[in-house]
């Protein structure tokens, strides 16, 4: 799951080396926290959130096939 999410996100951003995904599991849900370079955040969110919504939908389909529930959030990057 994490590998698929990493592949999708690193294909979109300009700095794939800065993509980090933290995976935690609580009860019956997998939680993914995605952090990317500050400049790439807009590309991941997309216009009106369409890109991140599409990523979430693709990953939910994969999770449903494995009888899992997932949650994908974007990490805030601190201002420098």
Segment 65-75 shows an average pLDDT of 93
Decide: 21 and 34 in contact? Cβ < 8 Å: yes
Residue 80 has pLDDT above 70, yes or no: no
The per-residue pLDDT for range 33-52, each reduced to its tens digit, is: 999 999 999 999 999 999 99
The per-residue pLDDT for range 15-33, each reduced to its tens digit, is: 899 999 999 998 889 999 9
What residues contact 1, with CB distance under 8 A and at least 6 apart? 23, 30, 32, 59, 62, 63, 66, 68, 70
Segment 71-78 shows an average pLDDT of 83
Instruction: Please provide the CATH number assigned to the domain covering 2-74.
Output: 3.30.300.20
Neighbours of 44 (CB within 10 A): 20
The number of residues in the chain equals 80
As a whole number of angstroms, the distance between CA 80 and CA 73 comes to 21
């Amino acid at each position: 799951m994490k590998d698929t999410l990493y592949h999708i996100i690193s294909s979109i951003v300009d700095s794939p080396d800065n993509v980090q995904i933290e995976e935690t599991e609580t009860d019956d849900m997998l939680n993914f926290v995605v952090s990317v370079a500050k400049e790439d955040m807009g590309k991941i969110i997309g216009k009106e959130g369409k890109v991140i919504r599409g990523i979430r939908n693709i990953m939910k389909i994969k999770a449903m096939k494995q009888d899992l529930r997932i949650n994908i959030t974007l990490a805030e990057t601190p201002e420098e």
